[in-house]
Amino acid sequence: MTTALGSAAEILRAAKIVEGVVGNAWATDADGRFIYVTPDALTFLNLTLDDLNTPPEEGSLGWKRVIHPEDYEAAAATWRHSLRSGEPYNVEHRMLLANGAYGWGRSTGQPLHDGLGRILGWYGTVIDAGVSTSADNRPSSQTTDAPVHDAASNTPPLNLVHPHDRPAAEQAMARAFWHGIPQIVSYRRRQADGSYRWAELRAEPGYAVSVDVDPMVSKPGERWATSDTLGETVEAVRGARAVEGLFGAAFAFDPSGTFTYATPIAQTSIALTLEDLNEPLSVNSFLDGGDLGWKRSVHPDDYEDVAAALRRCLRTGEQFHHEWRVLRTSGQWVWHRFAVRPTHDTQGRITGWYGVGIDIDVYKKTEAALRERERELSQLIDMVPSHLWRLSPDGEPTFFNKRMADFLGMDAADMASPGMSRLDRLIATVHPDDAAEFGNALNRSLASGERFAMRYRLRRADGVYHWMSSRAEPLRNEEDRIVQWYGLCHDIDDQVHAEDALRESERSLRQLIETLPALIYCAAPDGKPIYRSQQLREFLGFNLEDKDEGARSRLVGTLDAIIHPDDLAVVKERYGHSLESGEPYALQHRLRRSDGEYRWVETRTAAMRNAEGAIVQWNGVCFDIEDQVRAQEELRLSQESLARASQAASLAELSASIAHEVNQPLAAVVANSHACQRWLNADPPNLERAQKTVERITRDANSAADVVNRIRALFRQSAEARTGASITGVVAEAREVLTEEALRRGARMDVAVESGLPTVRLDRVQIQQVLVNLIRNGLDAMNSLAGPRIVSIRARRSEEMVRIEIADRGRGVEFPERIFEPFFTTKGDGMGMGLAICRSIVESHGGRLWAEKNEPQGAKFIFTLPIEPDATP
Amino acid sequence: MSSRRNTVAIVDDDPRLLESLADLLESAGYEARTFSSAGTLLAGGLLDLDLLITDIGMPGTDGFELRGMVTKERPDLPIFLITGRHEIADQDRARDHSGFFRKPFDAQQLLAAVAEALNNQEGEDET
């Protein structure tokens, strides 16, 4: 029990200390049962100590009554947790005040341990956070009633603050409370006579409500608080008290450095009493290099400097400002900044010193962190693989990062040179070809505030120019005035060179496409033409956009304009199919040239696909195949002619028909002639019948002549069909026709055509008929020949004629002229028409056909054809 | 021979030939009957005919076919074939036949052949 009572006294003492600092305090036993609460606070909350220990209901806490329902559960849970774990208690919550309003407050609590680490109990305080509530609601009873010792010793109740300054004061206190950073604000404080005087308020975090240290320091005879004899330091102590009011702690010492006053908090925080502080550690006085007890509170590494600085100040009377590490009772070294001023008497003699030490540990650490951050930032700025620069609002370079300085070979500061502005100097580092534009663009931006962006060549320290991509933007202040220009300058030299190479490569490719001897085009996936090579543009005589009129698409417009009407349907169908299916397109059709002529072309188009296989473009090529098509057409016609020529090979059959036609009237003539003769020879002569028969003879003979004339006409009428042709080709075709037949008959043809024969205007089919007929005659003539059966065919130029000879080794021709008469034949089965027709054909061509004896044996048929007047070999 | 004139029938699709042959035969004292096709001849009957001269190349029934039909009915009737198409004349079936003439034929020869054929027939009749 004694232990419990002893521990209660211990806790109570702790609470009392807190109460002295903060103005209110509480204490509980280890189980959380309240044993003390500052009486003013109980009044303020309209509670008794018993109320706090009496749960309003089972399982809840006594103070539930005064905690806002929304905050209670969290606060209660935290409190229980602290009781269990021994962790400090720190909760913000709204509290029900005596006036019935809720105000924000912060409750903090600490456990107190015995020597074995057991929790003896808890002590803590409630700090009023309701700074933004009206002054009347503030729990400021202590301060409003307390006597004001010093203008700055207490945080003033707001009703003492000039109404105009209240918002600032309130905000300062609020900031101090919430951010934990002491705030100092100037305000006009109302004096007892109702006048206002300027004063300063230091708003401490957590202390914003009231800090009244007066009772502690004003206790007379508190030997460890104040020196027995203040002596001349009375003034200094008064200064210290004033400072104490501001900063919570202060001290005073006499001109020899002997402490005469120290705020108990300051003393306890370094665990030294005044005696301890002043305890001589050596025989010499402090001024003579001796050390005093406070040395123990100074970090050994800092002490010599501190002592030397202080001695100097004591001698010179200079204000003392120094930072060092102070030993806390917890054993930690904590950075403090000390400021000490002397006090003087009316003669100006120093009567004492007063000062304060402020905990700057966080600041020190923050400073180090800041310095580290700054170092990192500047490292970042220098390490960024780019040039960073900064200009003043009028364009003077004020900063280059290291890379830029290295590149230029000079720092921003080096830019200053006589007779030249820094800006001009900067412009001078730009390639002469770009400098004017660079200067203009930069000046324009400086004047307008618009963003600067440009590519230019910048001279490196070694004189080599590099392409740069540069940008700068202004930084504006709250008044929208430009404060700085920040710029980024990126070396794009490699990129520019790569782009140049790419452009060159593209130009070369384009040139390749433009000069390829083909018509090239590209189309979008839907077939819309998007590119035509120069050759195609020239061929068509118009370009892409020229067909974009009206409702028709460019594709339809283009097709309608350039495709031959007969081919349009199939082109559209096939092209449409390709566009739909993605299959390649290939078609021959007629394409309209710019002069209106349709030319045969072959168009081939294939799809170009991306990595996913989707069609991105159609690429097409178009060849002019007009000549090819014409050649094919001629070849086809020639083949047709050949077929007709092979029909002409049955000229014998033709002549048989002709013979029949002629034989009929001839037979009639013969019969009639004989009959006529009989009628005349009769006795008496039957003149009447004879007369009649003669008429018939005339009639039928004419009929026979007509047949021959008709045949001749038949071969003459084809004069228009004549074309300039090579006799070589015609001979070759005739030979082709008869090759098989000659083989069958054991004969061969020996062809020799003089090279470079001029063209002859002829009807190919008819001349083939002549050749075939003559060659076949030659074969026929050698039917019974034992020796080699050879028909030799020779063609050569003879003056203005081409002379063709067909020679055989047969029996020869008995009647070289008569054989050309119709119906004259030397063959057992011949009709005698072939040679007559051949001669008709040759003569109709303006040539001649005749027969000669061949040497040493056989017959030779020769025909000539006139050379075209303007024909060249 | 004086008691009655021998009747010779001529078949040809060419009217000029019919005319001239009829003229020739009449000038030689025969009665000539002309037919423009085999059909018209067969329609009129063959009984009173003494000799038949027919063209070979005719539309419809040609000369060879007509000869076959007539020979069946009148095996004794002399038949001469004439043609303007020499390739037909070269055929074997034409060659073997004695009474075969090519247009234009020798009128004298034809008349001689006709006379001979009719005489042979009469001689046969007398025996």
| pTM across the whole model | 0.32
Give the Cβ contact number of residue A292 at 10 Å: 21
Please check whether residue A707 touches B, CB under 8 A: no
Cβ-based contacts of B14 with chain A (< 8 Å): 664, 668
For A678, the closest chain B residue by CA position comes to B27
Output the pLDDT for position A219.
32
DSSP B18: H
User: Could you tell me which residue, A378 or A443, shows the higher pLDDT?
Assistant: A443
Examine the pLDDT at A214 and tell me if it is beyond 50. no
Please check whether residue A778 touches B, CB under 8 A: no
Please list, in sequence order, all residues whose beta carbon lies within 8 angstroms of the beta carbon of residue A257, skipping any fewer than 6 positions away: A286, A287, A292, A310, A311, A314
Between A664, A682, A693, which is nearest B103 by CB?
A664
Q: Is the ipTM of this complex over 0.85?
A: no
Judged by CB atoms closer than 8 Å, whether chains meet at A675 and B19 is answered as: no
- Taking residues A666-670, report their average pLDDT: 87
Residues paired with A194 in a beta bridge? none
- Residue whose token pair is 């033409």: A529
Output the pLDDT for position A734.
84
> How far apart are the C-alpha atoms of A331 and A538, rounded to whole Å?
96
> How far apart are the C-alpha atoms of A565 and A590, rounded to whole Å?
9
Between B57, B86, B107, which is nearest A674 by CB?
B107
Cβ-based contacts of A693 with chain B (< 8 Å): 20, 23, 27
User: Could you tell me which residue, A656 or A807, shows the higher pLDDT?
Assistant: A807
Please list, in sequence order, all residues whose beta carbon lies within 8 angstroms of the beta carbon of residue A38, skipping any fewer than 6 positions away: A19, A23, A24, A25, A26
- Taking residues A559-565, report their average pLDDT: 86
User: Could you tell me which residue, A618 or A379, shows the higher pLDDT?
Assistant: A618
- Residue whose token pair is 């092979």: A646
> How far apart are the C-alpha atoms of A535 and A218, rounded to whole Å?
109
Examine the pLDDT at B126 and tell me if it is beyond 50. no
Q: Measured at the alpha carbon of residue A449, what is the angle toward residues A448 and A450, in degrees to the nearest 5?
A: 90
Task: With CA atoms as reference, report the closest residue to A279 among A295, A268, A267.
Answer: A295
CATH architecture under which domain B7-126 falls: 3-Layer(aba) Sandwich (3.40)
Cβ-based contacts of A678 with chain B (< 8 Å): 24, 27-28
Q: Calculate the CA dihedral of residues A34, A37, A39, A45 and round it to 10 degrees.
A: -80
Residue count (chain B): 127
C-alpha distance from B27 to closest chain A C-alpha (Å):
6
- Taking residues A735-744, report their average pLDDT: 81
For B103, the closest chain A residue by CA position comes to A667
Please list, in sequence order, all residues whose beta carbon lies within 8 angstroms of the beta carbon of residue A283, skipping any fewer than 6 positions away: A290
* DSSP notation for A330-384: TS-EEEEEEEEEEEE-TTS-EEEEEEEEEE-HHHHHHHHHHHHHHHHHHHHHHHS
Between A664, A670, A829, which is nearest B14 by CB?
A664
* DSSP notation for A61-126: -GGGGGB-HHHHHHHHHHHHHHHHH-PPEEEEEEEE-TTS-EEEEEEEEEEEE-TTS-EEEEEEEE
Between A667, A675, A831, which is nearest B103 by CB?
A667
DSSP A159: G
Judged by CB atoms closer than 8 Å, whether chains meet at A671 and B17 is answered as: yes
DSSP B19: H
Examine the pLDDT at B6 and tell me if it is beyond 80. yes
> How far apart are the C-alpha atoms of A402 and A674, rounded to whole Å?
138
DSSP percent split of chain B into helix, strand, coil, nearest 5:
45, 20, 35
Three-state DSSP at A830 gives: coil
Output the pLDDT for position A512.
84
> How far apart are the C-alpha atoms of B77 and B71, rounded to whole Å?
7
Task: With CA atoms as reference, report the closest residue to A96 among A121, A75, A122.
Answer: A75
Cβ-based contacts of B27 with chain A (< 8 Å): 674-676, 678-679, 682, 686, 689, 693
Per-residue HEC secondary structure of A234-276 comes to: HHHHHHHHHHHHHHCCCEEECCCCCEEEECHHHHHHCCCCHHH
CATH code for residues A2-128: 3.30.450.20
Question: Under a CB-based contact definition with an 8 Å cutoff, are residues A570 and A586 in contact?
Answer: no
Three-state DSSP at B85 gives: coil
C-alpha distance from B24 to closest chain A C-alpha (Å):
4
DSSP A420: B
Q: Which residue, among B14, B24, B36, B54, would best test binding to A if mutated, counting the most A CBs under 10 Å from its CB?
A: B24
Strands of B24-73 (E only): list them: 31-35, 51-55
Please list, in sequence order, all residues whose beta carbon lies within 8 angstroms of the beta carbon of residue A708, skipping any fewer than 6 positions away: A662, A822
CATH class of A652-866: alpha beta
Up-side HSE of residue A478: CA atoms within 13 Å toward CB? 0
Output the pLDDT for position A132.
31
- Residue whose token pair is 């460890």: A224
Output the pLDDT for position A198.
67
Examine the pLDDT at B74 and tell me if it is beyond 70. yes
Question: Under a CB-based contact definition with an 8 Å cutoff, are residues A575 and A528 in contact?
Answer: no
Q: Where in chain A is the domain with CATH 3.30.450.20?
A: 2-128, 216-366, 384-497, 516-624
Judged by CB atoms closer than 8 Å, whether chains meet at A671 and B90 is answered as: no
Question: Under a CB-based contact definition with an 8 Å cutoff, are residues A626 and A599 in contact?
Answer: yes
CA distances from A751 to A730, A735, A739 (A): 12, 8, 12
Task: With CA atoms as reference, report the closest residue to A301 among A323, A285, A320, A272.
Answer: A323
Q: Where in chain A is the domain with CATH 3.30.565.10?
A: 652-866
C-alpha distance from A845 to closest chain B C-alpha (Å):
31
CATH code for residues A516-624: 3.30.450.20
Q: Calculate the CA A85 to chain-centre distance.
A: 58
For B13, the closest chain A residue by CA position comes to A664
**Range in A240-254, A300-314, A463-477, A519-533 with the lowest mean pLDDT:** A240-254
Judged by CB atoms closer than 8 Å, whether chains meet at A696 and B16 is answered as: yes
Tell me the residues of chain A between 827 and 856 that have a Cβ less than 8 Å away from chain B.
Answer: 829, 831
Please check whether residue A673 touches B, CB under 8 A: yes
Judged by CB atoms closer than 8 Å, whether chains meet at B27 and A664 is answered as: no
Cβ-based contacts of B105 with chain A (< 8 Å): 667, 670-671
Judged by CB atoms closer than 8 Å, whether chains meet at B104 and A667 is answered as: yes
Between B20, B85, B105, which is nearest A672 by CB?
B20
Examine the pLDDT at A793 and tell me if it is beyond 70. yes
pLDDT band for A467, please (50, 70, 90 cuts): very high
User: Could you tell me which residue, A251 or A244, shows the higher pLDDT?
Assistant: A251
| Fold type of domain A384-497 | Beta-Lactamase (3.30.450)
φ and ψ at B49, to 5 degrees?
Answer: -95, 145
Judged by CB atoms closer than 8 Å, whether chains meet at B20 and A669 is answered as: yes
Output the pLDDT for position A141.
31
Q: Count of CB contacts below 8 A, A vs B?
A: 90
CATH code for residues A216-366: 3.30.450.20
> How far apart are the C-alpha atoms of A675 and A788, rounded to whole Å?
52
Preceding peptide of A157 cis, ω within 30°: no
Examine the pLDDT at A220 and tell me if it is beyond 50. no
Q: Which residue, among B14, B86, B105, would best test binding to A if mutated, counting the most A CBs under 10 Å from its CB?
A: B86
pLDDT band for A354, please (50, 70, 90 cuts): confident
Task: Give A469-502 pLDDT, tens digit per residue.
Answer: 999 999 888 788 888 899 998 889 888 889 889 9
Task: Give A5-41 pLDDT, tens digit per residue.
Answer: 667 787 887 777 666 655 678 889 888 889 888 887 7
Please check whether residue A701 touches B, CB under 8 A: no
pLDDT band for A222, please (50, 70, 90 cuts): very low
C-alpha distance from A711 to closest chain B C-alpha (Å):
18
Output the pLDDT for position A225.
43
Domain regions of chain B by residue span: 7-126
pLDDT band for B51, please (50, 70, 90 cuts): very high
Cβ-based contacts of A674 with chain B (< 8 Å): 24, 27, 107-108, 111
Q: Which residue, among A664, A677, A833, would best test binding to B if mutated, counting the most B CBs under 10 Å from its CB?
A: A664
Please list, in sequence order, all residues whose beta carbon lies within 8 angstroms of the beta carbon of residue A40, skipping any fewer than 6 positions away: A23, A24, A141, A142
Judged by CB atoms closer than 8 Å, whether chains meet at A668 and B16 is answered as: yes
**Range in A257-271, A462-476, A697-711, A734-748 with the lowest mean pLDDT:** A257-271
Output the pLDDT for position B90.
61
Task: Give B78-115 pLDDT, tens digit per residue.
Answer: 999 988 766 666 666 655 566 788 887 888 888 899 99
Q: Is A288 exposed, middle or buried (0-12, 13-18, 19+ CB in 10 A)?
A: exposed
Examine the pLDDT at A144 and tell me if it is beyond 70. no
> How far apart are the C-alpha atoms of B52 and B69, rounded to whole Å?
12
pLDDT band for A539, please (50, 70, 90 cuts): confident
Output the pLDDT for position A213.
26
Output the pLDDT for position A628.
82
Please check whether residue A664 touches B, CB under 8 A: yes
Judged by CB atoms closer than 8 Å, whether chains meet at A670 and B86 is answered as: no
Examine the pLDDT at A843 and tell me if it is beyond 90. no
> How far apart are the C-alpha atoms of A484 and A412, rounded to whole Å?
14
CA distances from A204 to A177, A245, A840 (A): 7, 11, 139
Strands A102-113 and A350-359: unpaired
Strands of A533-681 (E only): list them: 585-592, 598-609, 615-624
C-alpha distance from B127 to closest chain A C-alpha (Å):
32
Question: Under a CB-based contact definition with an 8 Å cutoff, are residues A263 and A248 in contact?
Answer: yes
Three-state DSSP at A150 gives: coil
Three-state DSSP at A394 gives: coil
Task: Give A392-412 pLDDT, tens digit per residue.
Answer: 888 888 888 888 888 988 888
Output the pLDDT for position A138.
34
Q: Structure tokens of A800?
A: 């203005």
Summary mean pLDDT of chain A: 78
Judged by CB atoms closer than 8 Å, whether chains meet at B106 and A670 is answered as: yes
Judged by CB atoms closer than 8 Å, whether chains meet at A667 and B86 is answered as: no
Task: With CA atoms as reference, report the closest residue to A487 among A392, A413, A387.
Answer: A387
Tell me the residues of B at the A interface, defined by beta carbons under 8 Å apart. 14, 16-17, 19-21, 23-24, 26-28, 57, 82, 84-87, 90, 102-108, 110-111
Task: With CA atoms as reference, report the closest residue to A525 among A476, A469, A581.
Answer: A581
pLDDT band for A719, please (50, 70, 90 cuts): low
> How far apart are the C-alpha atoms of B103 and A671, rounded to whole Å?
10
Query: Which sign does the torsion angle of CA A830, A831, A837, A839 carry?
Result: positive
Three-state DSSP at A205 gives: coil
Task: With CA atoms as reference, report the closest residue to A769 among A740, A734, A721.
Answer: A734
pLDDT band for A210, please (50, 70, 90 cuts): very low
